[in-house]
Structure 1
């Protein structure tokens, strides 16, 4: 690890750190020092070796003794993106009025385009918002539904998806249909069948997670979107746990709306989000906030906050550049490699029970395990107190299990340490 860290510092530290030491004052020439950092990152050979991923891991920094397996709750920014964010902030404070109102218009649009490319859609279908919760509120508040219309929300949906439909629609007399999903489906057809059975002539919207936060179950969005559209139903996707973890082509998925908190699996700063609305479905949407420029007919009307935190917005673009330097396909494959490595490692202990669907079509980088006969709250405390492992206890749906996130800064050595810790706790 130390060798890899020196390798990283040699590649990115010498030229990039030197250039990043100065505030960004050359936007007019469109050559911010950030680009030097990303260029140096691209020079690091991308492959699937463990040495390569240890190099990636060295670009993240956590408090001493922390082994961070809780990315599904809150992601971390890699060091180059932390530096970029701070430099954007310094630039703004050096000349506030210039960079808040107009000085960064081109860079904002570059960020929008990078997001659009990431999801294989048009930049005219991307709004840059604050988080997934805002996106779900935007959808639920905008739609003009009638008394007794129905919205399908499966039982595993996140509170931030359920609450907007409850406040903005259920209280007007719209019915929320809550189908119950199995904890461990074996095929995606099992899930499709449940949603199909929930559809009635009154169904107007299916609001669904890409990947649920409870036990990491992943839904077949493409198939559900096709089925919904055949019945004249809109599809709104909570993508907080999908975008960045697995490759996501929204054009291929076919959903109408998809909303993301970029601080999770895209490793962007906190407080920046992404909202996708298919061109043909934008007519249903109204902004949550209106200000000067409210007559704008483009998707930008949904992000018209007047004053906002632009350094975080521009750092989202830097985070996507960083991700691109590693490779979306590389990250996708690495996610599944870690999943399989972990599941193979816990097989030997019958007291460690997986509570996440095994099928690769139904789960990815979030894995949830129960330790037989152990209270999850105590297991979580022991993992942290004895091993510095930060995880998330899950007790809903009878899980009694810890949720573990396998982000790009997790190495196989980290997984080995995690398995040893789980073995020890499970056997005592």
Structure 2
């Protein structure tokens, strides 16, 4: 009797500490009242009007420790920092776990996965039994890539601007099993859906089985017409895998609306969940035919949970996802997308007016949101990135890959306009300093 009572008390304690499966969340304690007050104050404003409301976004910025970092992080497309409440939740879960790890992890925190699954499914607009919780988009998408039965000679269509880890997975299957991996190449930006859809259509042959498409191209932020590609592919009897690493938690969409068959994402990008968290979605009727990436006792099961047999995992990180979802919902998906797109356009439109500065991303709402590529005549991407960081303490990421040569810039909701003014000023100074260099010294 005593052990049962003790266990109930531990569940109650866990619920008090937790955000992922408790109504008494850190979000409720720390932010709900302030954000609710702002929501009431600006209830009449559209998401686009709210995007320019600095009073509202100042409240959001205060929730992120990264907003006061001495290094300006403009590589949120790589990994986004978490709000303070997510960091605190993970810390509390970690302290709880370390009192008696196997007890608290497997018997207490493990009970939170199903409510967390439901919360993520609500955010994604899908059935909880179609979602598996894992560590990142690479793990989610590699599960699909390696888990589908393909025969020698079967074709998969992707593009050279997809994410490297996914391309390498397909190339490994090609080398090992003799499938054919065909890659298109696009010159972004492209502001015409049919141009992209038609390229995939023309690549299809009688042996094509799968199209792999990236929702938001990580290099330059191009938004791909995923739904149209899926509809075209299904008309021809093909399946579609969607890499949503840079779209989920940023763009306002529901996963089933894409009409894909498979979808994988990282949650530590624009959802701001703990670093090392991800999610896999598989259309329910297709779960049984996908082999797990890691071993499972019933690999042909119809249960999505077969993809979660990871062994010992970080339960604190996993349960911290719930607080990130709380924070995201407090902002509102439409507002978040509108704000981040506004921030991207704020700096990029100014940069376009600087002689010698080039933008490599569409600024049209349908074709980009957070990410934009920038280059400065006379500087290679690596040189530009080094000078932005070394001289101005601005962190970005340089890209010299295939036909893309630029520095990627990706702000987030905690980014201030003054931060972006700092970036624009730096680009102006660097362009002026290198404008007199001979053409032979210019970066590509």
Match for 1:277 among 277, 282, 289?
Answer: 282
CA distance in 1, matches of 2:152, 2:426: 53
**1:380-395 correspondence to structure 2 within 5 Å:** 380-395=385-400
Is the contact made by 2:73 and 2:411 (CA closer than 8 Å) also made in structure 1? Answer: no
Task: Give the aligned length.
Answer: 405
Relative to structure 1, is the Cα distance of residues 253 and 294 closer, same or farther in structure 2, using a 3 angstrom cutoff?
A: closer
Q: Which runs of 5+ in 2 are unaligned?
A: 1-8, 43-49, 434-444
| Residue matched to 1:13 | none
User: In the alignment, is the contact (CA less than 8 A) between 1:205 and 1:233 conserved in 2?
Assistant: yes
Once residues 197 and 300 of structure 1 are traced to their aligned partners in structure 2, the CA distance between those partners, rounded to angstroms, is 37
Q: Give distance in 2, aligned partners of 1:384 and 1:29.
A: 42
- 2:17 is aligned with 1:32: yes
What is aligned with 1:203? 208
Distance 1:316 1:236, change over 3 A: same
Pair 1:175 & 2:180 matched: yes
SS at match of 1:232: coil
Which residue of structure 1 lines up, in the alignment, with residue 418 of structure 2?
413
Tell me the CA shift for residue 241 of structure 1: 1.1
Contact 2:291 2:300 in 1 (8 A): no
Hey, what's the Cα distance between the residues in 1 that align with 2:91 and 2:431?
Answer: 43
* Structure 2 match to 1:41: 31
- Give the 3-state SS of the residue equivalent to 1:102 in structure 2: helix
1:228 equivalent in structure 2? 233
- CA contact under 8 A between 2:155 and 2:208: conserved in structure 1? yes
Given that 1:187 and 1:359 are in contact with CA atoms closer than 8 Å, whether structure 2 keeps it comes out as no
Secondary structure in structure 2 of the residue aligned to 1:181:
coil
Report the counterpart of residue 314 of structure 1 in structure 2: 319
> Which residue of 95, 105, 110 corresponds with 2:100?
95
Match of 2:429 in 1: 424
Q: Does 1:219 align with 2:240?
A: no
- Write out per-residue CA displacement over residues 49-95 of structure 1, whole angstroms, 9 at most, x where no aligned residue: 21221222222224742100011112111111000001011111123
Q: Which runs of 5+ in 1 are unaligned?
A: 1-23
> Is 1:117 aligned to residue 102 of structure 2?
no
Cα deviation 1:102-159 (Å, max 9, x = unaligned): 3234421111111111110010000001111112221111111122110001110111
Provide the C-alpha distance between the structure 2 equivalents of 1:223 and 1:296, rounded to a whole number of angstroms: 31
Per-residue CA deviations over 1:192-251 (Å, capped at 9, x if unaligned) read: 111111111211011111111111111111111111111111111111111112123111
RMSD (CA atoms):
2.0
Give 1:293 shift.
Answer: 7.1
TM-score by length of 1: 0.90
> How far is the alpha carbon of 1:36 from its aligned partner?
4.3
Q: Distance in 1 between matches of 2:249 and 2:111?
A: 24
Q: Distance in 2 between matches of 1:80 and 1:89?
A: 14
- Post-superposition Cα deviations, 1:162-214, rounded to whole Å, max 9, x if no partner, equal 11112234421111111111222121221111111111121101111111111
Per-residue Cα deviation, 1:263-291 (whole angstroms, up to 9, x for no partner):
11111112211000011221321112225
Give me the whole-angstrom Cα distance separating, in 1, the residues matched to 2:171 and 2:75.
28
